[in-house]
Amino acid sequence: MVRTSFDDLLPGHKYYYRLHYGREKDKTATSGAGIFKTNPGAKNQADLAMVIVTGMNYYHFHYGNYDSTKAYNGPDKALGYPALKSVLALAPDYFIGTGDNVYFDHPNEQGFKNSLKNHKKPHPGGYDGKEVVDEAGMRRKYHEQFSQQNFKALFAKTATYWEKDDHDYRLNDADPYTDFAISHELGINNFKEQLPVVYPGHKGTTYRTHQLSKDLQLWFLEGRDYRDANEMTDGPTKSLWGKEQLAWLKSSLLQSTATYKILVSPTPMVGPDDAYKRDNHVNPDGFRYEGEAFFDWLIDNGFLDKNFYIVCGDRHWKYHARHPKGIEEFSTGALVDNNARPGRLAGDPQSTDPDGKIIQYYIQGTEEQASGGFLLVKIALDSIAKLQFQFYDEQGKMLYQAIKNPVAEDGQ
């Protein structure tokens, strides 16, 4: 594992690089040329495009989730996820992983075979025959994932931003107190080790904000490190974010000068979601109090007229929804077809919105609609800077588009 950092890069520039690598300094190989593009900067306007994803489930794609007949069997299987080829064809400036970038609680091929051999019924938490019980296994998951050719081709040309969620922290819906072979501390450290989020040496917090241009600022949140126990009774003392992160979030939002403000959350804040869960800000027995209080704060501080939107990962279906209080959210849906499912409809008694108060502009609500893919977010400069949200399936077909024009902060 090699990491480095660069200083004094110019904004809005394309940089080319090559890696010299090897076990010994005098015996190295040289990689092909890689490319990345720096942000235009807070004072500059520019067209921008970024792809945002979640649910990159290697096991479901290659081995079919305990059913090999459901594994992907296309002629390009060895290259990895077809959606990545579709992403590369769109040539985005940035690729954003919102979490579930790997799945520690899902088995590898051998774990799958052992499960079948021993006639075990899969554990309801999804980790029967699990591969990962230690740090070496965690590292192997990342190496297995990113060694796929479609990832290598994409990352050679595209800069990235990352968050983590439950499966690439510990296991499904995990909090710091869940009993699992991977400890809370190891889940935190492995994320900092494997992905370019903090400086080498693991320095810095994983929540942060970047103003990419005059028109766009992004906030990346940390949803696992500071949370209280999921099973704790919801109320004003229960937090998913922790006091320091929440204070920072509010302060940095108030300071923002960007035309558009996008909060990138590993988990949903509008939904609806499955009613039984206790994992996120949507769930009534989860962390809804904090989520609703944050929405009230946004409204009290005029953010309904400040071009503020939420993009979330975690959920396995794509949607564009509006909370009764006016906040809009876009769910990326799972990257992989085999990891997609129908979403919960507003008014469904098994959803977190049984009364149907949420407006759903777009929802993959049936088996026929459920698909893998990604969300493309664009700033398009014309006479004004327009913000575009576009959902795509694995093959690069656009499924839905929402275009937002800037609203002046006086509401005009």
Q: How far is CA 39 from CA 11, 47, 149, in A?
A: 5, 11, 26
pLDDT of residue 107: 81
Cα Rg, the chain, nearest whole Å: 21
Confidence of residue 130 (pLDDT cuts 50, 70, 90): low
Question: Looking at the DSSP assignment, which residues form a beta bridge with residue 50?
Answer: 94, 377
CA distance 323 to 13: 38
Confidence of residue 202 (pLDDT cuts 50, 70, 90): confident
CA distance 393 to 402: 16
Domains contained in the chain, CATH given: 49-404 (3.60.21.70)
- Classify 351 as helix, strand or coil: strand
**Comparing C-alpha atoms, which of 84, 200, 56 is closest to residue 153?**
84
Q: How far is CA 122 from CA 114, 126, 279, 299, 362, in A?
A: 11, 6, 22, 45, 33
CA distance 96 to 395: 19
Question: Looking at the DSSP assignment, which residues form a beta bridge with residue 318?
Answer: 332
pLDDT tens for 167-199 read: 999 999 999 999 999 999 999 999 999 999 998
pLDDT of residue 59: 92
Question: Looking at the DSSP assignment, which residues form a beta bridge with residue 52?
Answer: 96, 375
Beta-carbon contacts of residue 362 (< 8 Å; ≥ 6 apart)? 318, 319, 320, 391, 399, 400, 402
First-last CA distance in the chain: 51
pTM exceeds 0.85: yes
pLDDT of residue 262: 98
Q: Is 402 exposed, middle or buried (0-12, 13-18, 19+ CB in 10 A)?
A: middle
**Comparing C-alpha atoms, which of 269, 273, 305 is closest to residue 406?**
305
Q: Residue 342 in contact with residue 364, Cβ under 8 Å?
A: yes
Strand ranges (DSSP E) for 231-372?
Answer: 260-265, 308-312, 318-322, 328-332, 359-363
Mean pLDDT for the chain overall: 92
CA distance 200 to 202: 5
Give the pLDDT mean for 235-242. 98
- Classify 198 as helix, strand or coil: coil
Q: Residue 85 in contact with residue 91, Cβ under 8 Å?
A: no
Confidence of residue 407 (pLDDT cuts 50, 70, 90): confident
Beta-carbon contacts of residue 271 (< 8 Å; ≥ 6 apart)? 282, 315, 321, 329, 344, 351, 352, 353, 358
Give the pLDDT mean for 223-241. 98
Q: Residue 202 in contact with residue 138, Cβ under 8 Å?
A: no
pLDDT of residue 120: 46
